[in-house]
Amino acid sequence: MSHVVVTDHASFTEIHMDDGKANALSFAMVEAVHSGLDHAASRGGVVALMGREGKFSAGFDLSVMQHFDAESMRLLREGADLAMRLLAFNGPVILGVTGHALAMGGLLCLAADHRIGVRGGFKLGLNEVAIGMTMPWFGVELCRARLNRSHMDQALGLARLYGPDDAQYAGFLDEVVEPEAMHGRVAELAEMFAKLDMPSHRATKARSRQILLERLELAIARDFAEGASLRASA
């Protein structure tokens, strides 16, 4: 069974993640999302990356990440590459954050153009230091660029988890809607964004994110330099 369903709408391409559980970013999930992005890029225009009801993504597959070995570093690299792709995507990127978004799921919230969350007892944030992982350099750079500065230390160093409304203030989300309004709001925004002049959108996004993308490339190189470790302290 595929972890991702891709649906073509009139004004956007929907990439719907659903592994029936926590939407963990496994090798298979990341590959399927990339495949959906390939399809969306071939159509041009707007893409919406959505989670399942109650779960956007709980982050990386912990069955891989807990070993702190070559495979966990490979999965970390795939997550970094996915975030970079979303940041540089050739059309507007909407995230439908349908519930919990933790760790790498929270970092994906920092890589999209417009992030919509849903109200409810959901948690969004970066819990790496609470589960024994050092935040990778690329994650630090994403936080530096997209989070409200007053929440950097809370989110990164203290693993603060936010409810949806507080997550909007902190910078993980742009707006919060009732769960039943999510799909309608995504469609409404997609229709609006589809009216943009796409060459102008692409060129302006490239200019506005050039410095961030360059910093991320340097950060990723640092993360995966010889001897790098998820447990590194410097």
Whether residue 229 lies inside any domain: the answer is no
Whether residue 185 lies inside any domain: the answer is no
Rounded mean pLDDT of 68-97? 95
Give the pairing type, strands 12-17 and 4-8. Answer: antiparallel
> Total structural domains in the chain?
1
* Model pLDDT, residue 216: 96
Q: What are phi and psi of 141, to 5 degrees?
A: -65, -40
What mean pLDDT value characterizes the chain?
A: 94
Whether residue 210 lies inside any domain: the answer is no
Whether residue 204 lies inside any domain: the answer is no
Rounded mean pLDDT of 82-109? 98
Rounded mean pLDDT of 161-171? 98
Full domain range(s) for residue 136: 4-179
Asked whether residue 231 carries a pLDDT value surpassing 80, the answer given is no
pTM exceeding 0.85 = yes
Asked whether residue 227 carries a pLDDT value surpassing 80, the answer given is no
* Model pLDDT, residue 17: 98
pLDDT in tens, 196-211: 999 999 999 999 999 9
3-state class (DSSP) for residue 54: strand
Burial of 190 (0-12, 13-18, 19+ CB in 10 A): buried
CATH number at residue 173: 3.90.226.10
* Model pLDDT, residue 234: 39
Using 50, 70 and 90 to split pLDDT, how confident is the model at 132? confident
If residue 60 lies in a helix (H) or strand (E), which one and from where to where?
A: none
Whether residue 211 lies inside any domain: the answer is no
Q: What are phi and psi of 61, to 5 degrees?
A: -65, 110
User: Are 134 and 159 within 8 A, CB to CB?
Assistant: no
For residue 8, the cross-strand partners are 13
Whether residue 27 lies inside any domain: the answer is yes
